[in-house]
Amino acid sequence: MPATRQVSAADLDKSDPLAPKREAFHIPDGVIYLDGNSLGCLPKAAVARMNEVVANEWGESLIRGWNDHAWIDMPARLGNRIAKLIGAAPGTVVAADSTSVNLAKALTAALEMRENPNVILSDTGNFPADLYMAQGLIRGLGRGHKLRLVAPEEVEAAIDETVAVLMLTEVDYRTGRRHNMARLTEKAHEAGAVALWDLAHSAGALPVDVGGAGADFAIGCTYKYLNAGPGAPAFIYVRPNHLGHVEPFLSGWMGHEAPFDFDPRYRPAPGPERMTVGTPPILGLSALDAALDVWEGVDMGEVRAKSMALGDLFIQEVEERCGGYGLKLGSPRDAEARGSQVSFHAENGYPIMQALIGEGVIGDFRAPDLMRFGFAPLYLRYQDVVDAVAILECILRTELWREPRFQVRAKVT
């Protein structure tokens, strides 16, 4: 039998086509960052851009900046940049508001397209932000809509003609489980339902094709895998054939056809700008612009291949080295069925994660018992994965996590 030679992490890093991208980021000394699914690392270019925008554009141009630096066009211009990363046509995406607010905008627009069916179908793994928005909107609209939640595996079978809107997050924030967007969208359409996708854990993590899948609406986040900074503006996509008749319930003046006509009557803009509401946050959008520069020329196929390999390596290392400590895989073992994160159940997951963070390996914790690790292929190395697991193994072996300082629950976990 031929000897199977395992390729070392160092060799994998040497042949990694994405390796040079790491240089574009500031990675703090002594940190292995496995939380790019929550808040991406700082792109170095964002520092210079923010300084420039604050000191020169804001400082010197003041109100003239809206025209002189085309601030007013940033939501649509950056929307077009994001469109390329999610398989959307030009002129279908804007960068605006938060993911939560964009969900509310998309969901109300989607519900308006359906007269009779009254069910919003989602799954129990969806992020609470989305479910809460749906609950509040149902109350506010007062049209008797119902939120129906089923297990992620049961979504497909639950799509029937009572469903007005299928509202799903493609990649589960806890387990990383990935829905089949194209198939479920097709099922939704067969039942006459509108399909709304949250791409919070997809954009920048894996190839997305909202156009090809026929999604009606999509929303997503830019501070996770797109690295645009804490609370950065989110995005919203509207399928081209809906753009002309979507009536935004947040009928903001920035979504007006001609905001500076100051016409008392609302008339929506013809393009995706109609999904914007108020004055765009130029500082946040500028950081997003710089963060998107890093994605120029990046092959999403390479991102996906590396993401799957990093996740597989992590699972293999944890099970080999930490198998005796009661950690249990909480993510699909098959990389195809995962997004770009891996979670492990652990009885003492919270203090173990705090001890890990104390040792420079940053992941996060999701109640009740999930230790969550994100793999951002643009700046992570295979060696980081091996080193992180070595530190985890040491913490488990020495029971460092038992120290009282690791038991204190912070506000953000």
Residue 197 in contact with ligand PLP, rule: CB under 6 A: no
Residue 269 CA to residue 388 CA, distance in Å, equals: 50
The only residue of 19, 45, 113, 129 in contact with ligand PLP, by rule CB under 6 A? 129
Measured from the CB of residue 234, what is the shortest distance to ligand PLP in angstroms?
6
Residue type, 271: G
The only residue of 42, 200, 308, 356 in contact with ligand PLP, by rule CB under 6 A? 200
The only residue of 66, 80, 89, 98 in contact with ligand PLP, by rule CB under 6 A? 98
**DSSP 3-state of 405:** helix
Residue 348 in contact with ligand PLP, rule: CB under 6 A: no
Tell me how crowded residue 298 is: count the other CB atoms within 10 A of its CB.
16
175 vs 348 by CB, closer to ligand PLP? 175
The only residue of 22, 61, 91, 100 in contact with ligand PLP, by rule CB under 6 A? 100
The only residue of 127, 235, 350, 382 in contact with ligand PLP, by rule CB under 6 A? 127
**DSSP 3-state of 210:** helix
42 vs 219 by CB, closer to ligand PLP? 219
Residue 14 CA to residue 322 CA, distance in Å, equals: 27
135-to-139, 145, 149 alpha-carbon distances in Å:
7, 9, 12
Outline where DSSP puts E strands in 202-291: 217-220, 235-238
Contacts of 370 (CB under 8 A, 6+ apart): 174, 175, 330, 343, 344, 345, 349
Four-CA torsion 52, 56, 58, 60, nearest 10 degrees: 180
Site string for ligand PLP, 215-254 (x = CB under 6 A): ------x------------x--------------------
Residue 65 CA to residue 316 CA, distance in Å, equals: 52
219 vs 355 by CB, closer to ligand PLP? 219
Measured from the CB of residue 412, what is the shortest distance to ligand PLP in angstroms?
12
User: Which of the stretches 116-124, 148-156, 198-206, 353-361 binds ligand PLP when contact is defined by CB under 6 A?
Assistant: 198-206
User: Which of the stretches 60-68, 110-118, 127-135, 240-248 binds ligand PLP when contact is defined by CB under 6 A?
Assistant: 127-135
Residue 341 in contact with ligand PLP, rule: CB under 6 A: no
Nearest to 70 by CA among 338, 286, 389, 329: 286
Residue 65 CA to residue 280 CA, distance in Å, equals: 13
User: Which of the stretches 98-106, 320-328, 352-360, 369-377 binds ligand PLP when contact is defined by CB under 6 A?
Assistant: 98-106
Q: Which residue has the tokens 């969901």?
A: 107
Catalytically active residues are 127, 198, 223-224, 372
Contacts of 13 (CB under 8 A, 6+ apart): 19, 381, 382, 383
Interface with ligand PLP by CB under 6 A: which residues?
Answer: 98-100, 127, 129-130, 169, 173, 198, 200-201, 221, 234
